[in-house]
Each structure stands twice: as structure tokens, then as C-alpha cells.
């Protein structure tokens, strides 16, 4: 088995989604493409299926470490029954995770750019509001939610600056950026890969630049929790560390 196969196997063992066909683009932001792999119904189905078994494990008392990182961040916010918007909500499974691990009183809403993801979300959770929209132009008023959670989507949004600015605009008190892989001492690195068989573009962010960007948008980092590693990135861009940030504004 080659290095790629070993990395994918390790990724599956750690519960990381199956990724393949990596291509490093380098530090310059590529032009936005009209659509990407997340729009594909097949990708939505496959990601959802992978998370259904993680939900079963959570209900059996074994939540994965990224769920625990987010739980800790949200509990540290001190809000007992917050309204929360998840940006990049996918098929909505974090509504269930947060109700289970944080509080059933948390009032969840989700936004995603992919209609395929939202179709599944509405099937699973018909009473929860799911809205189609882009992280860089959120279809919500200023200060509409107590907490804006970027749910493992920052690395998929190529305009990081606009995504952070929009989260800050829509949040009343807290912004959480969940499961963000970062590099130390290296500039942002863009890459293309295939996720569940479809092409997506990702960015691995320079940690110092990202944390500086939070500050420039008026955010203070209150806590930073290690989330699950993305070992498939390291052979490509160097050692990465994955964080869940709790930021106050
Ligand atoms: C890796 S999935 C994350 C799903 C879920 N939040 C989680 O934590 O597992 C990334 C999601 O971000 C969404 N996404 C990517 N770019 C987006 C954008 N610019 N605006 C809104 N959603 C976006 C994708 O459609 C996809 O559902």
C-alpha cells in the first residue's frame, strides 16, 4: 500500500471523511468557481451517512473529540439557552449533537450554500429552520443570533476575511470557528482535493494570520480547543493543527 492509501486508511480510522486526489495550489487564492463538490447530492448523502454512525456512537456515550471540543467551547460561552446559527450546516446533524451535548434549550438554525445538503437537513429535522445562503453574504440581519458557529466550513470558504466579517456582523455575542486546520510559520495554502468523489477547493490557514484577522474584525479569542487532526493534509502542506475557537465580540 502506498503513502496515499495509508493516509486515507488512517483518516478513516480517525473518523475523518474520505479524501483523495490532492493537488497543492500554493499560497495564492484561486478564482472562485461557480459550483463545487458540496453541491452534489451524492456527496451530501455520503457525508450524512458517515455522520449517522457518529451520532449513534454519541448516543451510546462515545462522542468524537471534535464534538467534545465544540461542546466545551459552547459551554464556556456561559449562555444557557442561546440562539445559534451554524454556517455550513451540511445536513444539520450538529443540531442533534448540540441538543444532546450542550443543551436541549439551545435554539439552532442552519445555513448552507448547498441545496443537496439542505434537502437532507430538512428531511431529518423538519421543525428546524434551514436556510440557503452563502457564508460571505449571510441572509440575516445584524446581531440576529447570540452565537454564530462556523461548522467546519472555514477551510472550504476561500474568502476567509469576508466569512469572518459576516459571522461578526450576524453574531450578538460569540463567534465560534469549529475545526479549523492551521499552519504555524507558513502562509495560507490552497489545495484541491476530491471529497467523497467530487472536487472541492480548500485553504489551510496560517494560524497567526487567522488570529490577527479575528482581532481586526473586533474579535477576542477567549479559548482555543484542539479538534480532530486532518492527517491527510500534513504530507502536502506540512504539520497542521486543528482548532475550535471561541471568540467574543
Ligand atoms: C465539511 S462540511 C461541514 C458540515 C458540518 N457543519 C460539520 O461540521 O460536519 C462543509 C459544509 O460547508 C458548506 N459550505 C462550503 N462553502 C460554503 C459557503 N461559502 N457558504 C455556506 N456554506 C458553505 C458545504 O456545502 C458543506 O455543507
Burial class (CB in 10 A: 0-12, 13-18, 19+), 192: middle
Closest C-alpha residue for ligand 1 atom 3: 152
**How many helices and strands (H and E) does the chain possess?**
8, 10
pLDDT for the residue 249: 86
3-state class (DSSP) for residue 165? helix
Q: Which helix (H) or strand (E) holds 241?
A: strand 240-248
d(CA 206, CA 183): 5
Q: How many CA atoms lie within 13 A of 18 on its CB side?
A: 11
| Domain around 193 | 3-248
pLDDT for the residue 18: 65
Q: What is the pLDDT along the chain (249 residues), one digit of tens a residue?
A: 454 444 444 444 444 446 888 999 999 998 877 668 999 999 999 999 999 999 999 999 999 999 999 999 999 999 999 999 999 999 999 999 999 999 999 999 999 999 999 999 999 999 999 999 999 999 999 999 999 999 999 999 999 999 999 999 999 999 999 999 999 999 999 999 998 889 999 999 999 999 999 999 999 999 999 999 999 899 999 999 999 999 998
Q: How far is the CA of 92 from the centre of ligand 1 (A)?
A: 10
Q: How far is the CA of 192 from the centre of ligand 1 (A)?
A: 16
Cβ atoms within 10 Å of 124's Cβ, excluding its own: 16
Query: Does 167 sit in the ligand 1 pocket, CB within 6 Å?
Result: no
pLDDT for the residue 36: 86
Burial class (CB in 10 A: 0-12, 13-18, 19+), 25: middle
Helices (H), the chain: 3-14, 41-59, 65-76, 93-101, 115-124, 160-170, 207-216, 234-237
* 77 Cβ contact partners less than 8 Å away, ≥ 6 residues apart: 147, 173, 174, 176, 246
pLDDT for the residue 150: 98
Query: Does 153 sit in the ligand 1 pocket, CB within 6 Å?
Result: yes
pLDDT for the residue 33: 75
Cβ 140 vs Cβ 207: under 8 Å = no
Start-to-end CA span in the chain (Å): 48
d(CA 158, CA 161): 9
pLDDT for the residue 121: 98
Query: Does 243 sit in the ligand 1 pocket, CB within 6 Å?
Result: no
* 66 Cβ contact partners less than 8 Å away, ≥ 6 residues apart: 152, 178, 179, 227, 228, 244
Query: Does 110 sit in the ligand 1 pocket, CB within 6 Å?
Result: no
d(CA 167, CA 55): 27
Specify the number of domains making up the chain. 1
CATH number at residue 9: 3.40.50.150
Q: How far is the CA of 134 from the centre of ligand 1 (A)?
A: 10
Query: Does 113 sit in the ligand 1 pocket, CB within 6 Å?
Result: yes
d(CA 28, CA 190): 7
Amino acid at each position: 500500500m502506498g503513502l496515499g492509501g495509508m493516509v486515507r486508511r488512517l483518516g478513516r480510522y480517525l473518523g475523518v471523511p474520505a479524501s483523495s486526489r490532492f493537488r497543492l495550489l500554493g499560497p495564492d487564492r484561486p478564482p472562485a468557481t461557480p459550483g463545487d463538490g458540496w453541491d452534489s447530492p451524492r456527496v451530501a448523502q455520503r457525508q450524512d451517512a458517515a455522520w449517522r454512525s457518529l451520532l449513534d456512537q454519541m448516543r451510546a456515550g462515545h462522542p468524537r473529540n471534535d464534538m467534545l471540543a465544540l461542546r466545551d467551547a459552547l459551554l464556556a460561552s456561559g449562555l444557557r439557552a442561546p440562539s445559534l446559527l451554524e454556517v455550513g450546516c451540511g445536513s444539520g446533524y450538529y443540531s442533534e449533537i448540540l441538543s444532546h451535548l450542550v443543551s436541549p434549550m439551545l435554539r439552532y438554525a442552519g445555513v448552507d450554500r448547498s441545496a443537496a445538503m439542505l434537502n437532507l437537513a430538512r428531511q431529518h429535522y423538519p421543525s428546524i429552520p434551514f436556510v440557503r445562503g452563502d457564508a460571505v453574504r449571510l441572509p440575516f440581519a445584524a446581531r440576529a443570533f447570540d452565537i454564530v458557529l462556523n461548522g467546519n466550513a472555514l477551510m472550504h470558504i476561500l474568502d476567509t476575511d469576508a466569512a469572518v466579517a459576516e459571522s461578526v456582523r450576524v453574531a450578538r455575542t460569540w463567534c465560534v470557528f469549529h475545526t479549523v486546520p492551521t499552519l504555524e510559520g507558513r502562509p495560507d495554502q490552497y489545495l484541491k482535493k476530491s471529497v467523497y468523489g467530487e472536487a472541492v477547493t480548500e485553504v489551510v490557514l496560517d494560524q497567526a494570520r487567522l488570529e490577527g484577522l479575528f482581532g481586526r474584525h473586533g474579535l477576542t479569542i477567549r479559548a482555543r480547543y484542539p479538534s480532530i487532526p486532518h492527517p491527510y493534509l500534513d504530507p502536502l502542506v506540512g504539520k497542521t493543527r486543528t482548532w475550535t475557537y471561541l471568540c467574543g465580540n
